[in-house]
């Protein structure tokens, strides 16, 4: 694949990521967010660190429990003296790894059935499968690391990694490395700023703006 095509593909990916992140907020807004907040709070109050582990594993396995709800709530409990700040981040990150590995193996398992189904019924050109494999072979470390610090994307990125059979050890390592700053940031927001939902929402939109800027940057490189 030549450099021009790589720039175009990267640009399209980041622009789609931006749309996906913004859509995610609208889909999880209002009553659904409040329901998730109440459920998460009950679980954290009852089983503490194991609740963090379970909720973050579920989030990374594509169950719609936003980390933007779980980790700030845990941070608030740490502020009140019920939980330890460092333990929260550790259990949240371990939960991410467990859920991500589950989704990774699902991606491996469905690869051939999905390709056969898409080729038969949607006339999928297998060159796009090869492009996906090439991207993960070349940029898999960066894709996983930065994917883990993007809202919404962090929950689905493990599936295409498994689909493209990314090296398991590299996948696990960069899942951990990407999860730590995300979990630490959200926990500290809860710890220092309490239940300020507006701040958390803005935190996500800052990341959305960055993904859009990256997409525009690579699009400009493509046209040049």
Q: What is the pLDDT of residue 31?
A: 47
**Tokens of residue 83, six digits:** 């939980």
Domain definitions of the chain by residue range: 3-223
pLDDT 10s digits, 77-111 = 888 888 899 999 999 999 999 999 999 998 888 88
pLDDT 10s digits, 28-83 = 554 455 566 667 777 887 788 998 999 899 888 888 777 877 888 888 888 888 88
Count Cβ atoms within 10 A of the Cβ of residue 23 and give its class: 0-12 exposed, 13-18 middle, 19 or more buried: exposed
**Tokens of residue 63, six digits:** 């169950």
pTM reported for the whole predicted model: 0.72
Buried b vs exposed e over 54-89: b needs ≥16 C-beta within 10 Å?
Answer: bbbbbbbbeeebbbbbbbbbbbbbbeeeebebeebb
């Amino acid at each position: 694949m030549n450099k021009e095509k790589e720039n175009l593909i990267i640009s399209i990916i980041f622009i789609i990521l931006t749309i996906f992140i913004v859509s995610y907020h609208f889909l999880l807004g209002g009553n659904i967010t409040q329901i998730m907040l109440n459920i998460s709070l009950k679980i954290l109050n009852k089983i503490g660190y194991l609740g963090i582990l379970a909720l973050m594993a579920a989030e990374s396995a594509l169950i719609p429990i936003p980390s933007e709800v779980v980790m700030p709530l845990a941070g608030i409990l740490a502020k009140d003296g019920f939980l330890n700040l460092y333990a929260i981040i550790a259990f949240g990150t371990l939960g991410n790894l467990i859920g991500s590995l589950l989704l990774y193996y699902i991606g491996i398992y469905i690869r051939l059935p999905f390709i056969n189904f898409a080729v038969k019924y949607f006339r999928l050109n297998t060159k796009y499968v090869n492009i996906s494999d090439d991207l993960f072979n070349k940029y898999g470390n960066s894709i996983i690391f930065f994917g883990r610090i993007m809202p919404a994307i962090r929950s689905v990125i493990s599936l295409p990694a498994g689909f493209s059979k990314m090296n398991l050890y590299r996948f696990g390592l960069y899942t951990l490395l990407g999860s730590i700053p995300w979990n630490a940031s959200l926990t500290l927001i809860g710890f220092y700023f309490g239940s300020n939902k507006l701040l958390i929402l803005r935190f996500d939109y800052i990341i959305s703006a960055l993904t859009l800027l990256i997409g525009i940057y690579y699009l400009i490189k493509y046209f040049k």
